[in-house]
Amino acid sequence: MRFYTKDECEEWLRRLGRVKPNATPEIHRAHVHYPTTTGRIFYLAHWIGSSLLYGNPALVWITEWGIWGSSENWHLYYKLRQSYGDLRLLHEASGHLFLGHESEDLTSFLQIAMLNGWGGYILTQADCVNAFFSHDEYIDFYAALDENLIGIRKEFGTVEHPTPKEV
């Protein structure tokens, strides 16, 4: 696992010839609200970690934090981060690059981010499905092919909403 600065996150995307998924026109989307219990949030984070990587790296890029203030468990986040040998603050290096075999690590960081009310991106090198998770307690999954979202819709149900062009 590696921690990336904002510039390094942008460079990672550029090297792959990509942009953030919600900036891609004509992309399919599935909208999932966070579960209401912490156990189900763990299940959602674990499902993402074990289902979207396909043995390839993924970047979890935190772009929203500090919105809910005192409900954030900074101590837990920094202790977990320090266990990987990184002492920087979140605003100094907000990207978390997980190798394909580090799905459990991705699960832990994603669960903490969701419970802290943070938002950001799950950007997979495989590029079958990517996601934006929001401080407003939902995840938008994005895929170039609508069929790549079938498993998500089946597992979690979704609230479909129009693409920005249709709004």
Q: What is the pLDDT of residue 158?
A: 67
Domain count for the chain: 1
In a domain, 152, yes or no: no
Query: Is 45 buried (19+), middle (13-18) or exposed (0-12) by CB count in 10 A?
Result: buried
Q: Alpha helices of the chain — where are they, by DSSP H?
A: 6-15, 38-51, 74-82, 103-115, 150-156
In a domain, 81, yes or no: yes
In a domain, 144, yes or no: no
Contacts of residue 35, defined as CB under 8 A and 6 or more positions apart, other chains included, come to: 41, 43, 44
In a domain, 43, yes or no: yes
In a domain, 130, yes or no: yes
**Single pTM value for the model:** 0.92
Q: Please choose, from the candidates 162, 157, 122, 114, the residue with its C-alpha nearest in 3D space to the C-alpha of residue 138.
A: 114
In a domain, 84, yes or no: yes
pLDDT above 50 for 78: yes
**45-62: pLDDT as tens digits:** 999 999 999 999 999 999
pLDDT above 80 for 159: no
* Tokens encoding 117: 């009310």
The residue range of the domain holding 93 is: 2-24+34-138
In a domain, 75, yes or no: yes
Q: What is the pLDDT of residue 24?
A: 86
pLDDT above 50 for 165: no
Q: Is the dihedral of CA 147, 148, 149, 154 positive or negative?
A: positive
Taking each helix axis from N to C end, the angle separating 103-115 and 74-82, rounded to the nearest 10 degrees, works out to 160
**26-49: pLDDT as tens digits:** 899 999 999 999 999 999 999 999
**Whole-number percent of the chain with pLDDT over 70:** 94
